[in-house]
Amino acid sequence: MEYSEALKLKERWGKAPCDHPEFEKVYFFGTYLVNYACTKCGADLTIPRKLEIEEARKKKKIP
Dihedral sign of CA atoms 6, 12, 15, 21 in order: negative
Low-confidence winner among 12-16, 23-27, 30-34 (lowest mean pLDDT): 30-34
Tell whether pTM > 0.85.
no
As a whole number of angstroms, the distance between CA 40 and CA 63 comes to 27
What is the model's pLDDT at position 61? 74
